[in-house]
Chains A and B, each alone.
Chain A
Amino acid sequence: MADALFWIGGGLIVAGAMLSVLGAAGVLRFPDVYTRIHAASLTDTGGATLMLLGMGLLGPFGLITLKLLLVWAFIMLTSPAAANALANAAFGSGHRPRIGNFQIMGEDKATDAAPESAGKERA
């Protein structure tokens, strides 16, 4: 039983770490501030949740579990505030998002694809 919990908990922590790495990869690959915020939110929603869940299974059940729950609650309350502040500051300082379809790989990422579809932006 304890062995199973160890493996499940360990697996969840590794999964959370992988998701965080994916989030970091997204931050590197996406073209502008706003899309990068989307990638970064993988880290603090999915990544943090999976890791805390895994820690809860690994640790002794009791006070530690409650503390991890509190940590999770505070991450869920504060991370949208931070993301929102970031997006709002970028928008407020005149940083316009790239709109429209484009490949995220490639040399000149958005420069050729963005202008033609920029007009499709919704009101």
Chain B
Amino acid sequence: MAYAFGLLMALAVFWLVLSGETSPFFLGLAAVAVLATLWLCARLRLIDREGSPYHRAPQLLVYLAWLIVQIVKANVAVVSRVFGPRHAIDPAMTEVSTTAQSRLGRALFANSITLTPGTVTVDVEGHKLKVHALVRESASAESFAPMDRRAARAADRKPRGRRNGER
């Protein structure tokens, strides 16, 4: 129920930001649209912990800030490879394992790798990720360790608590 309420709030705020309308007529339309969306989400069984990870919002925001810095660095690195015929690229394919327990954590890690230019997650199987990298150095296990640690910390609950997600 709490997740349904969270989704309701998110949808209402989303509608307000997109429209900027406050007249009663439009707010009535908004109520219809929001409730219809909520009903559809309930029918699709999308209202669960995973679909609305508000409980991790502060940690996820901290992680996002860190990720943006990494993305900026990676952008510079890839631009330097695109530019300059001096530079040779050195693509590599590796397997990276993740310590994230929850499916949210693994999805966050895999998508962070993809979002960072220069590395792309090709496949995820359990705790193993197949990653393609533009340069070999950025494909080493150590280079993914900080991201894995931070993603796991941002998305997973404390180790002593119950685990969410599968298994």
**Interface of A with B (CB < 8 Å)?**
19, 22-23, 25-26, 29-30, 32, 34-35, 37-39, 41-42, 45-46, 49, 63, 66-67, 70, 76-77, 79-81, 83-84, 87-88, 91, 97-105, 121-123
Contact = CB atoms under 8 A, between A and B. Distances in A.
B154 to A, nearest CB: 15
* Most chain A CB atoms below 10 A, which of B117, B121, B139: B117
A67 B17 contact: yes
Nearest to A25: B82
A22 B132 CA distance: 21
Interface of B: 14, 17-18, 20, 71-72, 75, 78-79, 81-83, 85, 87-95, 110-112, 114-123, 130, 132, 134, 139
B157 to A, nearest CB: 22
A63 B55 CA distance: 26
B114 A19 contact: no
Contacts of A39: 78, 82, 117
A42 B85 contact: no
Contacts of B123: 88, 91
B121 to A, nearest CB: 6
Contacts of B87: 104
